[in-house]
Chain A
């Protein structure tokens, strides 16, 4: 596609002169050359040379994107996509009702957003997912690693250790029940130390660090190709305080969303974000809605909203391309310390709960 002269990053005065002289596309500019250009428009030769350099850079950038970026703008038929999706696994959440409404668990290559009021269990679910992504394939997991980007400082290593211990215990019970060769083999490498060593933790203190981290993430992911989950705990926090220019915020968030989509697609990993809630005033009532505005709502493909109904926690699937909207109740259970965990995993569609470890 030919670049229009009006869309090139030149100064407006120069652009106006070029358009008045009759140049339409970048190709025409490059063909004319600096001498011809300076004669036609009446600018000095140095200015013409500078302008042509800018044009050349832009066109080279575009060409590189279309040629080398064929991985990101890939073309395939729906049938190929269907086969890919059917062989892809899900990251289970160990809460079977939640897995049901999500269609099996958190999907790879999609962005899932979890919104909720404080204290409703978002960080708990993120830590659970960071452990669950490492479950070996013979137990029904994805056998990947996790990247955890923390902006609020709510990641507690001892809680993650408790969750990991409970997960290992659960897999051991399954292996004892089935007594298969590959189960026992997988269990040798699946231990507390290996789980914790495969969670890559980044701490970002403000929005600039967060943006830099996300833009540098593709390089990190190409080195660690086993990463299957990227968690950003608290994407609203750095953007909500101290931001005067709201249109800049919208633009940054949109760019961030596109970058996350690229990461999710190129590296076949799931991206999970947590968001805060804010109040919106209706006609005569106020309601809690997810923060960061309307345009951010389009960034996530799947949206889960955790909320309270008196004392019962509820999870609602608000936006999903393949599942219907539904609401389920869930609980966060406390496990008893000193190594004795209450195991309430049930293999069928029972009521399994998220185990939350707490040291007293």
Chain B
């Protein structure tokens, strides 16, 4: 058996690149890639073809996790009867006697030794391992295939506000979570409404608006839609497109009562919500937009997003909206948007937002960049 070392980059793994020991050959010719740590974002995948192209040691692979929604399993699952066909109770007892309790132990152990010490049939063990790997391991693809898939499934949604589009590098990307944070009165609900108007009118696609603050005013949305259709005489008959945008106005209004104090499960609930949102964005290729509050940094006095550090890893793009500090004293100071975190643009970019104008903006639907 030849052993090759392959550099594998786990998507979403905070440690970045991890080195795995892979063996090639054996009766099935499979590539075994085992993840010994428990990553915070468990890859849930479906195994592809039994014959996987054996990679050369110099080409970097990327694990492409595609979710299998029925099993939210990690590598730490205990072996139980019925987990897969062929895994009987007596088998489990024998394995347990040899200190093999979880899926990881089973898959990473040498099956010949196990067959000898447990006096089980080697073929049965190999069959069980194949099924377990199909359920619990990640399927490597190369970067070119990933890029092709991303090109065909990602869409960029214009927000209806050209300066905000410039900030977000042409608009909202599907498959990602974007966050808008701002003090009260800085325009978050207005921006969400304008995104909803632009997506449903310009792209003719459904929008899902989840409101937890009571700030959704249908008459304002109607005003915005009317302003956009003014020069076009056509009437929108039916929006036939699938769901492409999910807007959650104020995720912090429902999460902040749960955090802090002696409630230890608040953080876990928040992380579960984060996982669900990211899975939603990736699986159904929708753009998820959430709104957040701001708090004051105790050391510097600057404004930053609420919900703490754990939440700050969830959205891939963060925009900080700022209105006027004391509106009844100053003159007209316009609303600004500042980019706090982005995978594509330099942070610190600032643009002026035009909220509340009913001027007609010509919107061209943006095609995915080739």
Chain A residues with a Cβ under 8 A of chain B? 1-4, 6-9, 12, 19-22, 24-25, 40, 78-79, 81-82, 84-86, 109-111, 247-248, 250-251, 254-255, 257-258, 261, 264-265, 282, 287, 289, 294-295, 297-298, 300-301, 303, 305, 307, 314, 316, 318-319, 321-322, 324-325, 327
> Contact between B265 and A322 (Cβ–Cβ < 8 Å)?
no
> Contact between B219 and A265 (Cβ–Cβ < 8 Å)?
no
Q: Which residues of B contact A257 (CB under 8 A)?
A: 253
> Contact between A301 and B218 (Cβ–Cβ < 8 Å)?
no
> Contact between A4 and B220 (Cβ–Cβ < 8 Å)?
no
Q: Which residues of A contact B260 (CB under 8 A)?
A: 247, 250-251
Task: Return the CB mask of B291-327 against A: 1 if under 8 Å, else 0.
Answer: 0011110000000001000000000000000000111
23 contacts between A and B (CB under 8 A): A3-B272, A4-B268, A6-B271, A7-B265, A7-B268, A7-B272, A20-B76, A22-B102, A78-B196, A79-B218, A85-B219, A258-B212, A258-B254, A261-B214, A265-B214, A294-B293, A294-B296, A297-B184, A298-B213, A298-B250, A301-B213, A307-B328, A327-B328
CA distance A19 to B74 in the complex (A): 10
Q: Which residues of A contact B254 (CB under 8 A)?
A: 258
Given A12-B264, A325-B327, A21 contacting B185 (CB threshold 8 A): no
Of all chain B residues, the one with the shortest Cβ separation from A259 is B257
Q: How far is the CB of A31 from chain B (nearest CB, A)?
A: 10
Total residue contacts A-B, CB cutoff 8 A = 130
> Contact between B218 and A295 (Cβ–Cβ < 8 Å)?
no
Of all chain A residues, the one with the shortest Cβ separation from B326 is A287
B215 sits at the interface (CB 8 A):
yes
> Contact between A82 and B218 (Cβ–Cβ < 8 Å)?
yes
Of all chain B residues, the one with the shortest Cβ separation from A81 is B218
Given A24-B72, A82-B218, A297-B183, A254 contacting B257 (CB threshold 8 A): yes
> Contact between A24 and B74 (Cβ–Cβ < 8 Å)?
yes
B269 sits at the interface (CB 8 A):
yes
B106 sits at the interface (CB 8 A):
no
> Contact between B261 and A247 (Cβ–Cβ < 8 Å)?
yes
> Contact between A321 and B190 (Cβ–Cβ < 8 Å)?
yes
> Contact between A318 and B327 (Cβ–Cβ < 8 Å)?
yes
Q: How far is the CB of B310 from chain A (nearest CB, A)?
A: 12
CA distance A318 to B184 in the complex (A): 9
Q: How far is the CB of B204 from chain A (nearest CB, A)?
A: 15
> Contact between A251 and B265 (Cβ–Cβ < 8 Å)?
no
Apart from the given pairs A12-B264, A251-B260, A287-B325, 8 other A-B contacts in the complex at a CB distance below 8 Å: A24-B73, A287-B329, A298-B252, A298-B293, A318-B328, A321-B216, A322-B217, A322-B220
B222 sits at the interface (CB 8 A):
yes
Q: How far is the CB of B245 from chain A (nearest CB, A)?
A: 13
Q: How far is the CB of B75 from chain A (nearest CB, A)?
A: 9
B242 sits at the interface (CB 8 A):
no
B84 sits at the interface (CB 8 A):
no
B256 sits at the interface (CB 8 A):
yes
CA distance A22 to B78 in the complex (A): 5
> Contact between A22 and B76 (Cβ–Cβ < 8 Å)?
yes
CA distance A9 to B74 in the complex (A): 22
**Count of B residues near A, CB < 8 Å?**
54
- Of the listed residues A9, A109, A303, A319, the one surrounded by the most CB atoms of chain B closer than 10 A to its CB is A319
CA distance A324 to B332 in the complex (A): 12
> Contact between A297 and B261 (Cβ–Cβ < 8 Å)?
no
CA distance A343 to B317 in the complex (A): 57
CA distance A247 to B209 in the complex (A): 30
Q: How far is the CB of A239 from chain B (nearest CB, A)?
A: 15
With beta carbons under 8 angstroms apart, the residue of B213, B271, B295 that contacts A294 is B295
B77 sits at the interface (CB 8 A):
yes
With beta carbons under 8 angstroms apart, the residue of A4, A82, A294, A316 that contacts B272 is A4
Given A22-B78, A321-B189, A298 contacting B219 (CB threshold 8 A): no
Q: Which residues of B contact A86 (CB under 8 A)?
A: 219
Of all chain B residues, the one with the shortest Cβ separation from A7 is B268
> Contact between B329 and A295 (Cβ–Cβ < 8 Å)?
no
- Of the listed residues A1, A8, A295, A327, the one surrounded by the most CB atoms of chain B closer than 10 A to its CB is A295
The A-contacting residues of B in range 253-279, CB under 8 angstroms, are 253-254, 256-257, 259-261, 264-265, 268-269, 271-272, 276
Given A24-B73, A81-B216, A110-B214, A289 contacting B253 (CB threshold 8 A): no
> Contact between A40 and B78 (Cβ–Cβ < 8 Å)?
yes
Q: Which residues of A contact B268 (CB under 8 A)?
A: 4, 6-7
- Of the listed residues B213, B272, B294, the one surrounded by the most CB atoms of chain A closer than 10 A to its CB is B213
Q: Which residues of B contact A1 (CB under 8 A)?
A: 276
B221 sits at the interface (CB 8 A):
yes
B25 sits at the interface (CB 8 A):
no
Closest 9 CB pairs of A and B: A297-B184, A7-B268, A6-B268, A319-B185, A82-B218, A81-B218, A22-B78, A322-B220, A321-B217
Given A247-B260, A294-B183, A254 contacting B219 (CB threshold 8 A): no
CA distance A7 to B219 in the complex (A): 39
B356 sits at the interface (CB 8 A):
yes
The A-contacting residues of B in range 77-105, CB under 8 angstroms, are 77-78, 102
Q: How far is the CB of B129 from chain A (nearest CB, A)?
A: 18
Q: Which residues of B contact A325 (CB under 8 A)?
A: 327
Q: Which residues of A contact B257 (CB under 8 A)?
A: 251, 254-255, 258
CA distance A308 to B99 in the complex (A): 78
> Contact between B214 and A294 (Cβ–Cβ < 8 Å)?
no
The A-contacting residues of B in range 187-227, CB under 8 angstroms, are 189-190, 193, 196, 209, 212-223
Q: Which residues of A contact B269 (CB under 8 A)?
A: 4, 7
Task: Return the CB mask of B110-151 against A: 1 if under 8 Å, else 0.
Answer: 000000000000000000000000000000000000000000
> Contact between B185 and A318 (Cβ–Cβ < 8 Å)?
yes
Q: How far is the CB of A106 from chain B (nearest CB, A)?
A: 14
> Contact between B265 and A6 (Cβ–Cβ < 8 Å)?
yes
Given A321-B189, A324-B356, A21 contacting B253 (CB threshold 8 A): no
CA distance A264 to B189 in the complex (A): 19
Q: Which residues of A contact B193 (CB under 8 A)?
A: 321
Q: How far is the CB of A85 from chain B (nearest CB, A)?
A: 5
Q: How far is the CB of B297 from chain A (nearest CB, A)?
A: 12
